[in-house]
Amino acid sequence: MTIGERIRRERDRVGMSQRQLALAIGIHPNAQNRIEQDQVDTAASHIVAMAKVLGCSTDTILIGRPGESQAYAGKAARPWFHELLRRD
């Protein structure tokens, strides 16, 4: 699951529209749409603001709920982490 998909899941969970979330965190609704479609990366400050408005943690948005993060880590984080360790 992507960051955009996790944002949408949490937004749907609380019953907010994209427009409502965008206005609550101070961005244009079109920008919120592009974030949820994974067309653009979003600033850390926007992720923090979304988490506050949606009543979830930034971890929920970034890596998912318990159980989801393990699948992500196995496919993406571990190779990157091991490559970083090899450089030192």
For residue 25, what is the domain's CATH number? Answer: 1.10.260.40
Say what the alpha-carbon torsion angle 88, 41, 62, 46 is, to the nearest 10 degrees.
120
Res 45: pLDDT:
95
pLDDT of 65 reads 76
Residue range of the domain that includes 61: 3-87
Q: What pLDDT was estimated at residue 23?
A: 95
Q: What tens-digit pLDDT sequence spans the chain (88 residues)?
A: 899 999 999 999 999 999 999 999 999 999 999 999 999 999 999 999 999 999 999 999 999 876 554 444 444 444 554 555 565 5
What amino acid occupies position 14? V
| Number of structural domains in the chain | 1
